[in-house]
Structure 1
Amino acid sequence: MFNNIPPITRNLIIINIVVYLAALLIPQLDYYLAGYYPFSSNFKSWQIITHMFMHGSPMHILFNMFTLYSFGPILEQSLGDKKYIILYFLSGLGAFFLFNLWNFVEVQNITNHLVESGYDLQNLAETIQNLKSTPLTAQQQSWIQELIGIYYTRMLGASGAIFGVIAAFATLYPEARIGIMFIPIPVKVKYVLPVVVIGSIYLGISGNGGGIAHLAHVGGAIVGFILAKIWKKHLYRFK
């Protein structure tokens, strides 16, 4: 069965599984390969790619790989190897960009609040290292904790790239029907994608994401949608 999956999708699944298992055996990989905010001291340039192959739990990788298995083969066959690879990786990059663009906006808002409250930003690095011993108001402590969360929380997973795959599928095959949990009948994918994207935007901006990088999903979906729109007119020339 696994050999029947087209080669690019199959290899992407294999790489994701191998990297996940390697990170379990070598925990330090999590520090080097997961994605960090670009202005964090933990950020390394290669993380914009490697974060796509990192996953936080068995359910995380299982869900992502099952979704890739469900949508990827059709796109790989219709788009061809080159465009399919471009779709996957540009969607992952779009996810990283949008997620961290919002992080940048959040950092600017928080630092403005700190300055307005009378805090000297020149002491920020020292304060982060010695938060408990630094005299701060409760509100200042809360803001600095938010900054710490942005600078040192990992971004990991193939979800952004896979949302690009789903968005491209929905753009090229809008009438296709897919099954969804708790809904007894298949639903056209052209109706599902906008609901998921709008929900992800709300959860990402409201801060109610539950530790999930919802805006990364949106970034991947935007890239997938744009690429599919560009390529749609020439769909039958791809092969």
Structure 2
Amino acid sequence: MFNNIPPITRNLIIINIIVYIISNFFLYALNNPQLYNLLSAFYPFSPNFKSWQIITHMFMHAPLEGGVGIMHILFNMFTLYSFGPILEQSLGDKKYLILYFLSGLGAFFLFNLWNFIEIQQISNSLQALGVDVTEIYRQADVNYAGNILLNNKTPEIFDLSKKLLIDLKSPMLGASGAIFGIIAAFATLYPEARIGIMFIPIPVKVKYVLPVVVIGSIYLGITGNGGGVAHLAHVGGAIVGYILAIIWKKHLYRFN
């Protein structure tokens, strides 16, 4: 069955699985999380950010022992398997790869644009309270070996300092942004297609599902009620997927 999946989708799934196995069953087994620190995408002005993370974060998924664990990669790969082959065959290899990676980049951009706004607000508040934020940036380095000593002069300063530290040390990871781009492109090119949704007894047209998911993701991302999920990254990926599909839609049959 796996051999029946078109080559680009198949290889993307294989790469994601290989990276997950290496990062969890080899390095984490040795108590060495360095691959996660190197390949997940940190905030661009964090001391932990590396330029290649813009791409590599798309192939990283939640570690086995934390939070959602293996369900993160299983859900993403199943979704890619469900929607990817149709788009790969209709768009062709080149445009399909462009869709995948530009959607991932869109996810990175929108998520970190919101991060920038939030981190600047926190930094400005701390500086107004007389706190040197450069010390927090120094302590946010994942290789920092000293004790984390946040300013606790007042509860407000401590809470803001802790929030800034967490934002600088918390990376985004996963193929979800790229996959949301694929879902958005699918919904744009094939709006009448029906998909099954958990707890809903009848298939629903994808053109109705996507707006609900995007609006929900925007709400959760802005309110901070996402439970550790980068919802705005999903929105960024979906926006790029939608725009590309609109551009390509009128020429779709010309490709074939």
Q: Quick check: TM above 0.5?
A: yes
One-letter amino acid matched to 1:9: T
- Bigger Cα displacement from structure 2, 108-117 vs 72-81: 108-117
The question of whether the paired residues in 2 share the 8 Å contact of 1:127 and 1:134 is answered with no
One-letter amino acid matched to 1:5: I
Q: How does 1:215-234 map to 2 (within 5 A)?
A: 215-234=232-251
The residue number in structure 2 matching 1:109 is: 121
Q: How does 1:36-51 map to 2 (within 5 A)?
A: 36-51=42-57
Q: Which runs of 5+ in 1 are unaligned?
A: none
The residue number in structure 2 matching 1:75 is: 87
CA distance in structure 1 between the aligned counterparts of 2:113 and 2:130, rounded to whole angstroms: 26
Q: Counterpart of 1:89 in 2: which secondary structure?
A: helix
The question of whether the paired residues in 1 share the 8 Å contact of 2:111 and 2:233 is answered with yes
Q: How does 1:125-136 map to 2 (within 5 A)?
A: 125=137, 131-132=148-149, 134-136=151-153
Q: Counterpart of 1:119 in 2: which secondary structure?
A: coil
Q: How does 1:99-178 map to 2 (within 5 A)?
A: 99-121=111-133, 123-125=135-137, 131-132=148-149, 134-178=151-195
The residue number in structure 2 matching 1:32 is: 38
User: Structure 1 length normalisation: TM-score?
Assistant: 0.96
The residue number in structure 2 matching 1:2 is: 2
CA distance in structure 1 between the aligned counterparts of 2:205 and 2:192, rounded to whole angstroms: 5
One-letter amino acid matched to 1:141: F
Q: CA RMSD in A?
A: 1.5
CA distance in structure 1 between the aligned counterparts of 2:127 and 2:176, rounded to whole angstroms: 36
The one-character-per-residue Cα deviations of 1:129-188 (angstroms, maximum 9, x if unpaired) are 655464421111111111111111021100000000000000000010000001111000
Change (3 A) 1:122 1:176: closer
The residue number in structure 1 matching 2:15 is: 15
Q: Counterpart of 1:40 in 2: which secondary structure?
A: coil
Q: CA deviation at 1:108?
A: 1.0
CA distance in structure 2 between the aligned counterparts of 1:196 and 1:133, rounded to whole angstroms: 38
The question of whether the paired residues in 2 share the 8 Å contact of 1:171 and 1:190 is answered with yes
One-letter amino acid matched to 1:139: E
The question of whether the paired residues in 2 share the 8 Å contact of 1:6 and 1:77 is answered with yes
Q: Counterpart of 1:209 in 2: which secondary structure?
A: coil
Q: Counterpart of 1:178 in 2: which secondary structure?
A: strand
CA distance in structure 2 between the aligned counterparts of 1:126 and 1:39, rounded to whole angstroms: 12
One-letter amino acid matched to 2:22: A
Q: Percent identity?
A: 73
Number of residue equivalences: 239
Change (3 A) 1:122 1:213: closer
User: Structure 2 length normalisation: TM-score?
Assistant: 0.89
- Bigger Cα displacement from structure 2, 108-117 vs 180-189: 108-117
The one-character-per-residue Cα deviations of 1:39-63 (angstroms, maximum 9, x if unpaired) are 1111111000000000112100000
The residue number in structure 2 matching 1:180 is: 197
The question of whether the paired residues in 1 share the 8 Å contact of 2:152 and 2:158 is answered with no
Q: Counterpart of 1:210 in 2: which secondary structure?
A: coil
One-letter amino acid matched to 1:10: R
Q: Which runs of 5+ in 2 are unaligned?
A: 28-32, 63-68, 141-145
One-letter amino acid matched to 1:114: L
One-letter amino acid matched to 2:15: I
The question of whether the paired residues in 1 share the 8 Å contact of 2:104 and 2:177 is answered with yes
One-letter amino acid matched to 1:19: V
The residue number in structure 2 matching 1:213 is: 230
CA distance in structure 2 between the aligned counterparts of 1:29 and 1:80, rounded to whole angstroms: 32
Q: CA deviation at 1:117?
A: 2.7
